[in-house]
Amino acid sequence: MGTITCSRYHDISCGHRVVGHEGKCRHLHGHNYRFHFTCQAQELDKVGRVVDFSCIKQTLCEYLEQRLDHKFIMWEKDPLAQTLRDVNTLGVVLVPFNPTAENLAKWMVEDVAPGLLAQYGVTLVECVVEETAKCKATYKL
C-alpha cells in the first residue's frame, strides 16, 4: 500500500543573511524563494483528496505572503538585528534560528504548519525551500 501526498508551491521574495557564513551569504542579500509544501492525511476525503489544494494556499502560502514576503528575515540573536529593526521595524522579521533554507524548512513543518492545518486534519510532512533553482533544502517528518 503506497502513501498519497499532495503538494503545492509558493514563491516569495525575501532578504536574509546567514550569521557565521564563511562566504557572501553573511552579507545582507535576498532570494526569490520557492517553498514546496507536501501534505498527508490519515485517509482521503470522500471526494478522494488529501486536502483541497486551496486549503494549502489559504494557510501555508498565505502565511508566507503575510509574514515573510518582501521582508527581511533575521535571527533574533544576529548582532545586526536591532539595528535593522530600528530603521525598518515592520520590514524585519525576527526568527529564533539562523535563517538558512534548512532552518526555514524545519520551522514551517515543526512550528508553523501544525496550528494552521489542524482544522483540516492534514499534516505538512515535507517542506522544500529553494533559494535558487540550483540550491534547495528539505525537511521531512
Which residues are near Zn ion by CB under 5 A? 25
Q: Which is nearer to Zn ion, 55 or 129 (CB)?
A: 129
**What is d(CA 26, CA 51) in angstroms, rounded to the nearest whole number?**
39
- How many CB atoms within 10 Å of residue 129? 23
Q: Which is nearer to Zn ion, 25 or 137 (CB)?
A: 25
Of all residues in the shown chain, the one whose CB is closest to Zn ion is 25
State the nearest-atom distance from the C-beta of 18 to Zn ion, in Å. 6
Q: Which is nearer to Zn ion, 57 or 102 (CB)?
A: 102
Q: What is the CA angle 113-119-121, rounded to 5?
A: 80
User: Which of 35, 1, 47 minimizes the C-alpha distance to 124?
Assistant: 35
- Which residue reads 530603521 in cell numbers? 87
- Cβ atoms of 34 and 11 closer than 8 Å: yes
Q: Identify the H or E element spanning 14.
A: strand 6-16
State the nearest-atom distance from the C-beta of 95 to Zn ion, in Å. 14
State the nearest-atom distance from the C-beta of 24 to Zn ion, in Å. 8
Beta-strand relationship, 71-75 and 6-16? parallel
Q: Which is nearer to Zn ion, 33 or 63 (CB)?
A: 33
